[in-house]
Structure 1
Amino acid sequence: MPKKRTKLVVKPNTKSPHYKKGHVQEQQQPQPQAKKPHQQKHHEKPTIPFSKTDRILLLGEGDLSFAASLVKHHNCTNVLATVYEKSEEEVLEKYPHAKENMDAITTAPAPASDDEDDFPSDFDPEDYPSDFEAPEKKQPWLNKILYNIDSTKPLPSVVARPAKPNRVFFNFPHVGGLSTDVNRQVRNNQHLLVETFKRVLPILAHDGKIVVTLFEGEPYTLWNIRDLGRHCGLQVERSFAFQAEAYPGYKHARTCGVVKNRKGEEGGGWKGEQRSARSYVFIKKVEGGNDTKSAPGKRKRRKDDDSDDD
């Protein structure tokens, strides 16, 4: 049988002007407060879609904090970071704090001291006893910054020399505030991605991958990034939650530059690195591959989304 609602009898306030003799106040049990929306936290190990020996091309790097993190904390030695701004001075005008990131990318570490073991370039561990622990062979320092790079236009030959990149990153692409009309903004950003895909494909290594990271939710879901990739001969291999904490020192850089408050102080506006975001890993479309949409009325988990259950 359903439980009856419990009534609490409250002693009346006889001094109240609204008190009437014989009146008994009733008070229902307090209703439980609605739970606040759960903010998703990442407990799993972050997905890192590259290795330190990959040939990495970064597009639209903004303040270069992502590139600096790859170099300083992931020990990458072959990073080509490109920015849309025409010069170092223009970058620093928009992002005054970027100088430290620039130095981290372009300044190679000091050479090893004389008392350290110096192994020849043709060092082969197999020539030594099995219990000998050979140090990891040092990679040449090839990290660079290129200015005045528009990813929607033909890319300079230097991005594919001496070898084509096998990892291309385009983090949080956005054309900026060209229009306040949502539909027009969507079309502008779709054009940005399509043209970028077209320019990157010719210089991408045969087994290379393009990683595009977007914020979750609208208007970004309206861009239909999977369809844009298919239109250009690409398919999504997988997608996963982007975790900014995996890149120490990284801060989201807005297209318009550093946001300031009314007093002219830096630090105003939202922090993009704290928003939920997702990375899509594109590969060249395989002929006859299974990259089709689910049949109408059936919602199937995509095979390429092996990390969608974050």
Structure 2
Amino acid sequence: MVDHARVLVLGDGDLSFSAALHESAPDLRMVATTFESREELLRRYACAHEHIAALEEAGAIVLHEVDATRLQTFSGGDGTFQRIIFNFPYQAFGGIKGLRRLLGQFFEGARLLLSLDGCIEVALCAGQGGTSLDGARGWAGSWRVPLLAARAQLALICPEPSWPS
């Protein structure tokens, strides 16, 4: 990962991923977000307070009530991001069509926040993506990531991992 890169992490549950990423790459300029309000986050996750404190102490920005499907209205700092990370996006309603809609809306908004040399990373379970490398679920039961990315004018690539060692 590029030193001093601007990174946006979306929907990070208890913020443990963001805290671990920032600890492994302290030069990142990170904006870590949760879908829940701060109060709800602290009520749901016992360790969230610790993660928030560690991130803020390290200089990261922590924002709450950020909806990844409405990034067109996102105001998480100035400029664009070199990396946007969305781990295991999920919504409890709408079935597979609702999940595809969620991811499509995310891609549309994230494209506006991405630097020209930037990368969007979406972590999914095996079979959800819809590529030949993805497992046996098949196109019909997948989230159809290549199609949704293309509709948002994004290209799907499979780069070598660039995480800090």
Which TM-score band (shorter chain)?
0.7 to 0.9
Alpha-carbon offset, residue 239 of structure 1: 5.6
Superposed, which structure 2 residues align to 1:1-310 within 5 Å?
Answer: 50-86=1-37, 88-108=38-58, 141=59, 143-153=60-70, 154-159=72-77, 161=78, 163-175=79-91, 177-178=92-93, 184-217=94-127, 222-238=142-158
Match of 1:12 in 2: none
Higher Rg: 1
Q: Closer, same or farther in 2 for the Cα pair 1:232/1:102, shift >3 Å?
A: same
Alpha-carbon offset, residue 157 of structure 1: 2.7
Identical-residue share of aligned pairs (%): 29
Alpha-carbon offset, residue 55 of structure 1: 0.4
Whole-angstrom distance in 1 between the partners of 2:27 and 2:125:
25
User: 1:226 is aligned with what amino acid?
Assistant: P
What SS is found at the alignment partner of 2:52?
Answer: helix
Q: Closer, same or farther in 2 for the Cα pair 1:215/1:225, shift >3 Å?
A: same
- Give the TM-score, by structure 2 length: 0.82
Alpha-carbon offset, residue 208 of structure 1: 1.2
Deviations 1:45-78 (A, max 9, x none): xxxxx23421000111111011001111222441
Alpha-carbon offset, residue 227 of structure 1: 1.4
- Unpaired segments ≥5 residues, structure 2: 131-136
Deviations 1:90-138 (A, max 9, x none): 1011212211111110013xxxxxxxxxxxxxxxxxxxxxxxxxxxxxx
Highest RCO, 1 vs 2 (Cα 8 Å, sep ≥ 6):
2
Q: Closer, same or farther in 2 for the Cα pair 1:52/1:62, shift >3 Å?
A: farther
- Give the TM-score, by structure 1 length: 0.45
Alignment size in residue pairs: 152
Q: Closer, same or farther in 2 for the Cα pair 1:97/1:56, shift >3 Å?
A: same
Structure number with the higher helix fraction is 2
User: Runs of 4+ in structure 1 displaced over 3 angstroms?
Assistant: 218-221
